[in-house]
Amino acid sequence: MGVYRTHYSKELSDKYDGKEVTVAGWVEDIRNLGSIAFIILRDRQGTLQITTFKKQHREIFEKLINLNRESVISVKGVCKANEKVRNGYEIIPEELQILSESDAPLPLGVVDKVKAEMDTRLDNRFIDLRKSEVRSIFMIRDVLINSARDYLRKNGFVEVHTPKIIASASEGGTNLFRLKYFEKDAFLAQSPQLYKQMLMASGLDRVYEIAWYFRAEEHNTRRHLNESTAIDIEMAFIKDEEDVMSVLEGLVKHICEEIKERCKDEIETLNVEIKPPEIPVPRIRYDEALQMLEKEGVELEWGEDFGSEEERILGEIMRRKGVDFYFITKYPIQAKPFYTMPEGGLSKSFDLCCKGVEISSGSQRIHDYNLLVRRIEENGLKPDDFRDYLKAFKYGMPPHGGFGLGIERLLMQLLNLKNVRECILFPRDRTRLRP
């Protein structure tokens, strides 16, 4: 494992009792009792104890007790089983390397009892991430993304990467970050939407992207980021949006099962229960959702999209039925982007919600060139701005559909976190551009 470490804290076991090991990490705590000192060392997996005796190794003892907390050290020593120690083993050091001394005081405590403000935490994110409950979120995020990759590849999807500097809006004219691209005006991509659809004219048939979304949303909410990530898919030769929904529910179920299986320690640290959805996930039509809301005293005009409060109430109704995940289908066409396939006054679209928050949306798309041009115009947009995209619909475009599944939103809802900023390393919001 390298010169500084042979074992992580959780890898110590009876097998190593009396054997020499090398451990490395951050000094979380130092307790000096005069002739003996206990150092709590933290690594990616947890903590372990280093026990040092003044008489035995005076030089090492002095160096260790004089360290500032959060300094980085590597210790070679003998592993000893000791049931009085938290994880059952302690290291008696024989060699010490101080790899980096920490300054004091720390801008953010790692083991403080008092909860720090979100801004202080984010300003010092590298320290914030040293906390096991924060680190666990990102260990789970890793499993989420990799299990999504496994699932999609097994189902014939090809990973693609589409441009993020683009010439026209992907999701309509608002919420765009503009930038100068030499002499031209350009935008940051709101989503891979236009490109993943163009790829349906390529014969690749099924594509996915772990994508970045850039959205200049002006409002600061607990569930919006200005830079977020998503699992975006597009698939061709579909019968209707149901084909897409069955990939989405299968994907979410697989992700939940993998997290449950592979992240036991992290789930325990975060004290949550991961419940994979039962398939098929309930489908609630937009009209039915309106009636459900009406019964709760919420009046909404037909055609309006649900806001966060309406979503929360629907989530509450479903929770009472023991359901975490549910689709809302058949939205009025005016509530959906121009590329969505109409169906009367409705659309072949869906949102997937989890516990009262939208985590994904998708649809069958329009694949007819003339209808698409008309819908672009009806949405107040200029077909000429979409000429490259539109060209792909003129020379053989199969029926297709897809979805975007917000990674931070899914993680936030699975782990019952209150703020989406918890789920991205360095969040970008209305006021935050650093670190």
Does residue 361 carry a catalytic annotation? yes
DSSP 176: P
Binder among 49, 191, 347, 364 for ligand AMO (CB under 6 A): 191
Catalytic pick from 7, 42, 57, 224? 224
- Interface with ligand AMO, residue 197, by CB under 6 A: no
User: Considering beta carbons, is residue 332 or 406 the nearer one to ligand AMO?
Assistant: 406
In terms of DSSP H, where are the helices of 278-420?
286-295, 308-320, 369-378, 387-391, 407-414
Which one of 7, 130, 254, 409 is the catalytic residue?
A: 409
Q: Is 403 in the site for ligand AMO (CB under 6 A)?
A: yes
422 makes contact with ligand AMO (CB under 6 A): no
How many of the chain's residues bind ligand AMO (CB under 6 A)?
A: 24
Known active-site residue 409: yes
> How many Cα atoms within 13 Å fall on the side-chain side of residue 140?
33
Residue 6 or residue 175: which is nearer to ligand AMO going by CB? 175
Q: Rule CB under 6 A: is residue 217 a binding residue for ligand AMO?
A: yes
d(CA 57, CA 17) in angstroms, rounded, equals: 20
Nearer to ligand AMO, 130 or 224 (CB): 224
For 425, the 3-state DSSP assignment is coil
Among 358, 363, 365, 367, the one annotated catalytic: 358
Owner of token pair 């024989």? 94
Build a one-symbol-per-residue string for 345-374: x at contacts with ligand AMO by CB under 6 A, - elsewhere.
-------------xxxxxx-----------
Is residue 215 flagged as an active site residue?
A: yes
Q: What whole-number distance in Å separates Cα of residue 76 and Cα of residue 378? A: 71
- In the sheet with 184-188, reading across from the earlier edge strand, the strands are 165-166, 184-188, 178-181
Using CB under 6 A, which of the segments 69-77, 130-138, 213-221, 327-335 binds ligand AMO? 213-221
Write the burial class of residue 226 (CB in 10 Å: 0-12 exposed, 13-18 middle, 19+ buried): buried
Member of 366, 409, 421, 427 binding ligand AMO (CB under 6 A): 409
d(CA 39, CA 29): 6
Per CB under 6 A, contacts with ligand AMO among 139-178 are: 171
Residue 339, φ and ψ in degrees, nearest 5:
-85, -5
In the complex, least distance from residue 192 CB atom to ligand AMO, rounded to whole angstroms = 8
Instruction: For ligand AMO, give the closer residue by CB, 7 or 215.
Output: 215
Q: Does 412 bind ligand AMO (CB under 6 A)?
A: no
Contact between 215 and ligand AMO per CB under 6 A? yes
List C-alpha distances in Å: 403 to 30, 68, 234, 243, 363.
Answer: 51, 50, 7, 11, 7
**Burial class of 25 by CB neighbour count within 10 A (0 to 12, 13 to 18, 19+):** buried
**Residue choice 230, 251, 255, 270 for contact with ligand AMO (CB under 6 A):** 230
Nearest to 244 by CA among 410, 402, 414, 406: 402
- Site of interaction with ligand AMO (CB under 6 A): 171, 191, 193, 213, 215, 217, 224-225, 228, 230, 232, 358-363, 402-404, 406, 408-409, 420
What residues are labeled active site? 215, 217, 223-224, 358, 361, 409
